[in-house]
Each structure stands twice: as structure tokens, then as C-alpha cells.
Structure 1
């Protein structure tokens, strides 16, 4: 039995998913993936370290492991990323249902101008990708660290990178440019876009979700989580996105500011006498929902709060989201479908309701009952624009791209 392991490493977490490859008699091209285990280490390098593990039977029933069972398996909370990877690999090696690991797929946030599709990594590739760390300081180094570790521990197992920027690589050139002198554009100072693995999953899934006669050529996907962005997709291709040169651009997020006047950054440096590091910390870690509310970066806490500052943060978040939807609809020349995904998008009904209410002029009509129960379709039958909730699955996209790369090499 062959297996593909997927690792999605964040600033304080490591998500993992293990897939079995089902080889059909008709040949490698027909092989399919079955998710068997998934879980995550969270709160790494904090006092809130946690670990979870779920097993899925062939019928897709999910079973969560009890804490004492996890301890018996050796999957105890990890203190850092390396510890988490070490414990995970040790558990994988001692399983009774262990198969042969044929690839490990990794989410890498930034692929720059070079990496536009999944690739089996070499040491030279890793070195090139490390040069992009300044463009995704919260993500790039954490995504590359497990790759370097596993290249040493498992030199014969392919380490495959899948890139969040790759989905946006074929946007129209006008959508990728800044109005800067050409020599800076030539150096790669352009819009890249992020959350591409999530958007890729949605565009692959959309034809199976929508009714057969529903138009889906012009779609805006709202990936609303602690990190938040939106993407305009036409006929399955990224046309424009709210994130640009870095994952700081666009919508307000949990702790990130989103788009702001670049002159404000100059003011912070020249008049507030802030250093580059100070400004970076302010915009990446002290702003967004946390900065405006002064309470929390967690939308759930803000929705439960009676504080006026919490309400102001939510109002700003939804206002900016509605503005971006309108902008992306303009890039598409109209709008057929709006899709909500990721943590806030999938679970925060009041946020969805506020955003849709501000987009009614585009032809959206919300079904309040469906919205409150997180149904797949949350628009009324007469709505000109369909509104949907589709849970994202970045790990499955990574596993699928790994399998495609393995098939191509075989």
C-alpha cells in the first residue's frame, strides 16, 4: 500500500494528512486518493500546545483519538516545529497499518517568478525559495523547515512543494503590475497573490456543487480566516486577487492590517521614528481585528463581545470585504457566484450576512435560514448571484498534485 503525507506548516502549527493511493487495474492514471488520517499540532512554542488526530474509515466515518491514546502513540504536544515533525514521523513508522511512503507534499506560500506548479525539490530549490522569505515572513521559513529536516531524514522519499502563488501565476499582466519604474518590476516587485491552494480546491470543486444549469464562469471566492483574501476566477483561472506582493495586502485580517496608504508607512518611519522591524511588527502582528478592537484577533470572540470596539472591528472587516467583492466583480465584468470558505467564511453566519447585505446591489439575495445553518447554498432561489459555502481542503490539492507528479514521472 502506497501513501502520501501532506504537511502544512504555519507560524505556530503543523497540519498533516495521510492519504492512501488506490491503484486501479486500469493503470496509474486512474489512481485515487483516500484520506485515512489527519490532524495538527497547534500552539507550538507557546504554553497552549495541543495535538489532535482523526482516523477515517473507508466509509469516511471520522474517529477522534482520546488524549491517553495519543500519548500511547507518542503523539504528545510538541514544543516546536522540529519536535512536531519528529513525533509525527515516529508515529507513522510504528503504525500497524503502515504503508510505503512514496512522497511528502508541502505547502510553500511563495514560489516567486520561477515556481508555477508542483515540483520535486532539490537542495538548490530550497535555497532559492529561502531567498523569498522576506516576502512571506510569517510563512515561508516555517514551510521550508520541515522540507530541510525530512530531506536529511528520508533522502529517498520525494519532497514535493506546492505553492500558494502558483494559482495566480497566469493572471493578466495588467493585474500583476504596480505603477513603478520598469526596472523594479523586472526585479520581481509585482503582485503575486496567495491562498492559491485554497482557491484551486474551490475551482476544482465548484462544478460538482453547483446545479447543472448554474453559470459559474465569473466567481469571487472569499477565503476568510485568520489570514484573509479574495480571488476573482473566470472559467477556473485566477483573474485578480486582493493580496499582492506580500500576504499583508488586501483585506484586514486577524492581526494584519491589509491594504493601506504607502505614505502611511513612510509617515511611521519618518515622523513616528519607527524602525523597519517596528513597522513590520505593527502591520503583521498588532493590526487587523486585534488592532482595531484591542480585544482579540479571533472573530468568534469579537462576535460574542458587547464592547463597541469589537463591533467597530467587525463593521470595518465586513465593509472592506464588500468593497473588495465589488472591485473583483469589476475585474470579471460581472458576477455569477460568490463563495465563502475558510474558518470565518465557513462558520461565521453574521459576518456573511453583513457582507452580502452590502452587496445586494450586485443582485445577491441571502437566505437567512440557510445562512444560519451554514448550508451549502445560502442565496434565495431568485438571487441573481448565487452565494455558497464550500469548505476548503488545501491538503487534498497538495496530495492530488503530488500524485499527478508521481504519475508523470512513472
Structure 2
């Protein structure tokens, strides 16, 4: 039996997964269960290029989705043996600054962080519960999107609020840490001259943020206490004047649930364009609103990069990653055009691979070298 590691990334209506060889990190399978809670479907690509699609019952939840995935592995794995499950966890708070073995106490701590990531953390917890039910004694590993940013100094973790609120968790955490950790690893391995310098990494996708890195460490980042802060995203607003939120509630009478839905699901590129959060669709649309949305996104990313340059004391290189960062050349060009006042910098594109980073973290915890 080939020892293997399963990585899980649970969203509100999807469960993305990959299967890696434990000793060689060979990618054995990848896929997703999409449209959980509606017309759910399991899509898998195997190592040999085989693609498989299986429909799930309309009522399938995260447990049913993981069950379908495990049934698939049992039928099609050849000689795999899942020896650990790595879970992407959006929020680790201040206590979890590295990936860690899941225990009942850890799960309880993660449940307490749900208010800080209400649209992400519950689904991460559902996947943990489902894996524990279906896989029994197979160890689970929590890999945190906040952990990479734990080394930042107080200048980059505080809001301008009283210390008592900071002590209660009202602070800047930062996210997309697994993506930035992977970039740090790739830079150290393939571009050590760049890794030791002043790097601005831009993880641009439906979720988007930028990170200032020096010597592979996070110095500053655009997201704050929650994953809705910072630059605008596909459907998330990014930074909004807190007074606007108060006005929506106090004067417009909007319920908190409606405001939350607005800033997470109906803002960003979708809200600005009025048509779509898909960048390829917006690039192909010559209409003024679509182009305004892309220009606004690019300008805000460039402005964020300028702010991060202050945190770093300059810029030596910009690294793009994520679906937009890797594939949307017109958007990259607009961002770099807006960044011209900052001077010439080296530009790299590095494909995101958070799942491989999770597998590497799992191997480290299991004390086995890849």
C-alpha cells in the first residue's frame, strides 16, 4: 500500500481535495465536490489523466461529500492508504502559529473563532467532523491561513483602538498564509536572491490580498481581522469606511445579516461591474462598468503595494499568484502600470499550491521527510 495524505479545503458549497504520496509528495489525484446542498457532483482527475464525474444526492452535505470522496478512493485508489488528513483552516487566532495535530481541545478553540470568520470557519469545522466520523483514527492536521503572519510586529497587528479591545482579539491577523508560505518556499528554493530581498506577493483570485515579505517572512499584509478586509475581491468589498457600515444599519435600517451578505457576497468586482465577479468575463466585456471594475481593482492593488513598500522600505520584486494573478495578464499589466511611480521592479508569476504546502506541513508533523 502506498502511504498517502489527503488535503481538504472546505468552502460553503464545495470541498476541494488532493491526494499526495506521503514519502514523495507525488500528486495522485485531485478534484472537488461542487454545489454541495444543491446538485452536488464529484469531479476527480487521476494521476494517469483519467477524469471521473459522479452525481451526488441533492441533499448532500459536507459529510456526504466527504463520504462520496472516500468511496471513490476505496474504489479507484489502486494501492493508496490515507494516513493523515490535512485541513485548511481559515482562522487560527493568536494561539495557533503553526500547523498542528487536531485534538478535541484544538477543535474547541477553533469553534470559539467562528465569530472572526463566520462564512469560512464553520465549513472548515464541518469537514473536520466529517473526516473524524468517516476516517476514525486517521490523524487530522489543521493548517492555518493566519499562521504565516504570526511573526509580524505590533505596528502591523494593531488597529488604532484601545488595548483592551486588542486583548479581546480585535486585531489584524492576515490570511492567505498557506499561499504565501508556499511562495516563500519556492523563492527560497528557486530564487534565493529574491527571497532575501523586499518582496510584495499578490495573491489575486476571487479572494485577494497582498503581503510584504522579507527573508521569506511576513512583514505586513492587506487583510485585517477578517477575510473581507483589504483590496476588493470577486464578491467581497475589501476595506470600507466603518462609518458606511454604521450608516447602513442606523439610517438605512439594513439588518446586520443583510450588510454581511452585501460585503461578502454582493460587492467587489460583482458590485462594481453589476454583472460578474469573473475576471475573464469582465476582460471580454468592453462596457464601461466592467472596465471600471477592473481599473478600480488594479488601482487598489497598486495602492496597497505602495503602502506595503513603506512597510518594507522599498520593493525589489513583485510576485503574482492565484487565479487572477497567474492567468489575467491584462489585470497584471494594469496593476504594474499603476505601480510605475514606485520604480522598476522584477516581476515573477508563481502558481499557487496551498495543498502541496499543507501536505508538506503534514509530513513535518508526522516526522517523515518528503
TM range (shorter): over 0.9
User: What per-residue deviation string (whole Å, max 9, x for no partner) do you get for residues 66-108 of structure 1?
Assistant: x5xx44xx88998432221110011112335133221100000
Residue 408 of structure 1 deviates from its aligned partner by 7.3
Alignment of 1:273 with 2:253, yes or no, is: yes
Q: Give the Cα separation in 2 of the matches to 1:215 and 1:119.
A: 26
Residue among 281, 284, 293 paired with 2:273: 293
Question: Does structure 2 retain, via aligned residues, the 8 Å contact 1:293–1:310?
Answer: yes
Instruction: Give yes or no for the alignment of 1:404 onto 2:352.
Output: no
1:44 CA displacement: 2.4
Indicate how the Cα distance of structure 1 residues 405 and 213 shifts in structure 2: closer, same or farther if over 3 A, else same.
closer
Distance 1:19 1:93 in 2: 15
SS of the residue 2:26 aligns to: strand
Offset at residue 168 of structure 1 (A): 0.3
Greater shift in the superposed pair: 97-106 or 160-169: 97-106
Distance across 1 between alignment mates of 2:41 and 2:280: 20
Equivalent residue, structure 1, for 2:21: 20
Distance 2:363 2:343 in 1: 40
CA contact (8 A) 1:92 1:98 kept: no
Q: How does 1:347-358 map to 2 (within 5 A)?
A: 347-358=327-338
Q: Structure 1's 160 and 234: CA in aligned 2 closer, same or farther, altered over 3 A?
A: same
C-alpha deviations, 1:304-354, integer Å up to 9, x for none? 112211111111111101100100111000111101100011100100000
Structure 1 residues 255 and 233: alpha-carbon distance in aligned structure 2, compared to 1, 3 A threshold: same
Deviations 1:343-380 (Å, cap 9, x if unpaired)? 0111001000000011112223xxxxxxxxxxxxxxxx
Aligned counterparts of 2:178 and 2:64: Cα–Cα separation in 1: 26
Of 325, 339, 347, which aligns to 2:319? 339
Q: 2:125 aligns with which of 126, 144, 164?
A: 144
Structure 1: gaps spanning 5 or more residues: 23-31, 58-62, 365-384
The answer to whether 1:43 aligns with 2:38 is no
Aligned to 1:395: 355
Q: How does 1:143-182 map to 2 (within 5 A)?
A: 143-182=124-163
Matches within 5 A, 1:168-317: 168-210=149-191, 214=194, 216-317=196-297
Is contact 2:62-2:130 (8 Å) kept? no
Could you tell me how far apart the structure 1 residues matched to 2:346 and 2:91 are?
32
Q: Secondary structure at the match of 1:19?
A: strand
Distance 1:214 1:407, change over 3 A: closer
TM-score (norm 1): 0.86
The structure with more radius of gyration? 1
Structure 1 contact 216–337 (Cα < 8 Å) conserved: no
- Report the equivalent of 2:94: 113
CA distance in 2, matches of 1:64, 1:139: 31
Q: Deviations over 1:165-220 (max 9, x none)?
A: 0000111111001111111111111000000000000010013443x655742111
Answering whether residue 58 of structure 2 is matched by residue 94 of structure 1, we say: no
Structure 1's consecutive aligned runs of 4 or more residues displaced over 6 angstroms after TM superposition are 74-78
Q: Tell me, what secondary structure is at the counterpart of 2:18?
A: strand
- Where structure 2 has 5 or more consecutive residues not aligned to the other structure, the ranges are none
State the 1:155 CA deviation: 2.2
Does structure 1 residue 53 correspond to structure 2 residue 44?
yes
The answer on whether the counterparts of 2:15 and 2:33 sit within 8 Å (CA) in structure 1 is yes
Secondary structure class of the residue paired with 2:4: strand
Show CA shifts across 1:25-79 (max 9, x none).
xxxxxxx3211111112232345x443222225xxxxx141x5xx44xx889984
C-alpha distance in 2 between matches for 1:193 and 1:151: 28
Count of residues in Structure 1 that have an aligned counterpart in Structure 2: 368
